[in-house]
Amino acid sequence: MPTYNTVMSVAVGAGLILLVMLGRELLRSPGNVVVEGWSLAFGVLGTILTATGLHMTLTWPLAAGGFPFDNIVFGETSLAFGVLLLAAAFYLWTRGRAALERADATEHLQAVARPVSVFVLGMGLGLVAIAVAGVTYQLFAAPPEEPISGAFAAYPLVEAIFMSGLIALVGLGAILFPFAVRSGRRAARTIIGWAWGLSGVAFLLFGAMNFFTHIGLIVNTMG
């Protein structure tokens, strides 16, 4: 059973962190932004998330292991984020330099992002719904055979709260995104920065750890 939500988690975490970093650069010194570097970074992460998310969304590989809901939780959300990152990469590569040379660079980029903010809002609401489902149905509990996370197998609510909290944090930032791309919304941008920054670090570290825990789970259940 494929369990590539390891690389998905690392890519999601890196993507969230990079979005916060780019947003800070655009607000502080848009003229110093090297668009090629950001475009390449978003392109790499977007390709990984789009490919794995699309496969998981269409084939439901995690259903065979008894976790069909994970195909929705990880597959569809990763697909959406991946396509958004690819769109950002394409725009920055083709139009980014010209946009940043404008006198109103920040305001122009906000205007460019406003139409897609409707989709970001919708996905944010979806993430909050996933978080509520995670706690309600105590999802995300690791089996006892999995190292580290499996220590909480008898307490499924622990990992349910942890994962649901991270997902809700990303959702909060996404819900506020339409407000952040409008002028004079400093509070919304600050909240998004903290929400996506903290959740991004957590997803990146959690995904990196899962390379060990998932390998351990496979080894412990091979016999």
For the chain, where are the alpha helices, taking DSSP H only? 5-28, 35-59, 69-70, 77-91, 97-100, 105-136, 156-180, 186-220
Cα 77–chain centre separation: 8
List the structure tokens of 16. Answer: 């969230």
The pLDDT value given to residue 65: 78
User: Which DSSP letter does residue 143 get?
Assistant: P
List the structure tokens of 30. Answer: 């848009």
In the chain, domain spans: 5-220
Whole-angstrom distance, CA of residue 191 vs CA of residue 194: 5
The CATH class for the domain spanning 5-220 reads mainly alpha
Give pLDDT tens digits for 112-150.
999 999 999 999 999 999 999 999 999 998 889 999 999
Give pLDDT tens digits for 12-40.
999 999 999 999 999 998 889 999 999 99
Whole-angstrom distance, CA of residue 116 vs CA of residue 120: 6
Whole-angstrom distance, CA of residue 188 vs CA of residue 87: 23
- Tokens 């939500």 correspond to 5
pTM, rounded to two decimals: 0.95
CB 174 within 8 A of CB 121: yes
